[in-house]
């Protein structure tokens, strides 16, 4: 059977390709594919069992058996509405914060909270020249929608919009904008905090910092 394998961020740089079509025997599991790739690319550490895997945009366990045409992605650690209404997208162009906020406003919103994340001039004691963001497109937007659904269940009446940049960003540019509207201000603040925290936890977006002393992917320590 033939499957498509995709690599991102630091892993993509280590193996030297962003994707590959691979012939595998019927009955190959995620664990079996992991072992085949570690051998093929001579990168056993890169394909260690701590590396997350998705199959057709959903997280996959090691025992899952793969099928013809599956899209399997190996994911390095991530840098981090009413009835589920909201808007979620990736953008290659500058984010319009007012437009993001406008997408959540409605007659029942007593509080609207907006979080804007911008590129800093310094990070961990290093002077930053620019950032580069990379995302697993369809899966990233799917996960953002799931965050919106989680929020709608937790805070009925909440609406949320999330926009995240991809590509190269200069210092001062917006990397992410999150707007949350709720009937009351307290839940608007709480829900907005939840949205940015969950975004960093589950959405496959990676950040590369280009500093004066070099470039490196920002990944949490194992």
> Domain boundaries in the chain?
2-75, 82-218
Q: Is the entire prediction scored with pTM above 0.85? A: no
Question: How far apart (Å, rounded) are the C-alpha atoms in residues 20 and 197?
Answer: 32
pLDDT digits (tens, 9 = 90+) for 51-71: 789 999 988 888 999 999 999
Percent of the chain with pLDDT over 70: 94
**What CATH fold (topology level) applies to the domain 82-218?**
Aldehyde Oxidoreductase; domain 3 (3.90.1170)
Answer whether 2-75 and 82-218 agree in fold.
no
Please say whether the structural domain 2-75 has been given the CATH code 3.10.20.30.
yes
pLDDT digits (tens, 9 = 90+) for 151-162: 999 999 899 999
Burial bucket for residue 78 (CB in 10 Å: 0-12, 13-18, 19+): buried
């Amino acid at each position: 059977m033939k499957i498509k394998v995709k690599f991102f961020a630091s892993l993509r740089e280590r193996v030297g390709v962003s994707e590959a079509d691979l012939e595998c025997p019927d009955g190959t599991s995620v664990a079996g594919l992991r072992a085949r790739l570690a051998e093929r690319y001579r990168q056993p550490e890169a394909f260690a069992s701590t590396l997350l895997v998705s199959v057709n945009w959903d997280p996959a366990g090691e025992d899952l058996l793969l099928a013809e045409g599956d899209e399997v992605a190996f994911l390095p650690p991530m840098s981090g509405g009413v009835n589920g209404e909201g808007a979620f997208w990736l953008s290659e162009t500058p984010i319009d914060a007012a437009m993001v906020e406008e997408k959540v406003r409605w007659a029942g919103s007593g509080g609207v909270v907006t979080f804007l994340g911008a590129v800093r001039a310094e990070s961990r004691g290093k002077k930053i020249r620019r950032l580069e963001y990379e995302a697993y497109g369809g899966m990233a937007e799917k996960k953002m929608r799931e965050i919106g659904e989680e929020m709608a269940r937790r805070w009925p009446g909440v609406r949320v919009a999330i926009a995240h940049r991809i590509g190269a960003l200069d210092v001062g540019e917006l990397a992410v904008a999150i707007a949350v509207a709720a009937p009351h201000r307290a839940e608007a603040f709480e829900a907005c905090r939840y949205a940015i925290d969950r975004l960093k936890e589950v959405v496959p977006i990676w950040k590369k910092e280009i500093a004066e002393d070099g470039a490196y992917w920002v990944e949490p320590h194992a």
